[in-house]
Amino acid sequence: MSTAGKVIKCKAAVLWEQKKPFSIEEVEVAPPKAHEVRIKMVATGICRSDDHVVSGNLHWPLPVILGHEAAGIVESIGEGVTSVKPGDKVIPLFNPQCGKCKVCKHPEGNVCLKSSLQQPRGTLIDGTSRFTCRGKPVNHFIHTSTFCQYTVVDEMAVVKIDAASPLEKVCLIGCGFTTGYGSAVKVAKVTQGSTCAVFGLGGVGLSVIMGCKAAGASRIIGVDINKDKFAKAKEVGATECINPQDYNKPIEEVLKELSDGGVDFSFEVIGRLDTMLSALLCCQDSYGVSVIVGIPPDSQNISMNPMLLLTGRIWKGGVFGGFKSKDSIPKLVADFMAKRFSLDPLITNVLPFEKINEGFELLRSGKSIRTVLTF
């Protein structure tokens, strides 16, 4: 029986307040309005950015349905939707691409002016929510809200992918893999034969390593205080790994010694101000490039000596690996299908959606790289 045009009652993980577990609730998901798409979720990854909302590091209006790294199947479409149709396999886009704004038209820009990354809001573009729980509206999260059996997104925040692709794997292309891989190949533009340092060896950090390797880096040094992550980092391409706690001097000095005066490219994939500075300091004074990938805590500032940049270092950042989402995701899925890279090393746990709180505990304890929840 068709559900198109009807309210769907289904299960969602609702965050009612910060620092509390998710509550599995029955929610009502309204049908899509004009230029909107309703998606049946198949798989969603647990990303540290979701946990930043739980911890309060990232402020978002509550209650909210989080989740932004996912893949699913279009259930129904609103009036005027042309890019997808019911039955299509799709990836929702936390970093949408309207295609019309100044940023979307710029060859290098990728944070669309209509994105809620520019201005946090718990609604779709029209200013309203499609979720109701216990008679109250529930906020959307960065255009996606994938911790729900069904979600509604704006057409600019969804893209069709290869019908043969395994959704429980390619969901990682919706955030973690692409963010890391693109930070190396597109934001930093890592060069053949270069030396790279990657701070933070979670799912995104490992994807940075994969990008550095694909770009032809000859040395890739992984940096993490959790030694349990070293074997996996080496499996995906790190040539060596170091633990800052093993040294009695700042890690940037250790890296400068290891790399004959500084690395060519460094990546901070943790989201800490101290490691952002260490990553900048460890790269070569005259031509080193340091990329901020990790999300820093809300409303905190970093102080640094401008001389660090005056000598020629480049300090930059990137959202979603610098990729334009609608243009790039189908190509990355095609590359995955052509076996140009593997996502298997990143997926350490697969759990049913109802075990979402268990999945977050695995993330917080450092026991998982990526947990994928299946519906």
Catalytic residues: 47, 49, 52, 68, 175
Distances (CA, A) of 70 to 91, 215, 221, 341, 372: 6, 26, 30, 18, 9
CA–CA distance, 300 with 121 (Å, rounded to integer): 20
Distances (CA, A) of 157 to 12, 68, 107, 143, 164: 20, 11, 19, 6, 21
- Of 145, 116, 121, 117, residue with least CA distance to 131: 145
- Of 326, 80, 339, 46, residue with least CA distance to 204: 46
- Of 204, 197, 277, residue with least CA distance to 241: 197
CA–CA distance, 64 with 84 (Å, rounded to integer): 26
Q: How many helices (H) and strands (E) does the chain have?
A: 11, 17
Across the strands, what pairs with 77?
37
Contact 208, 183 (CB under 8 A): yes
- Of 240, 236, 232, 231, residue with least CA distance to 259: 240
Q: Is the peptide bond before 63 cis (omega within 30 degrees of 0)?
A: yes
Where are the strands (E) in the chain, listed by range? 8-14, 23-29, 36-45, 69-77, 89-92, 131-133, 136-138, 150-154, 158-160, 195-199, 219-223, 240-242, 265-268, 289-292, 314-317, 347-352, 370-374
- Of 45, 249, 83, 62, residue with least CA distance to 140: 62
DSSP 31-60: PP-TTEEEEEEEEEE--HHHHHHHHTSS--
CA–CA distance, 32 with 36 (Å, rounded to integer): 5
Give 61's Cβ-side CA count (13 Å radius): 13
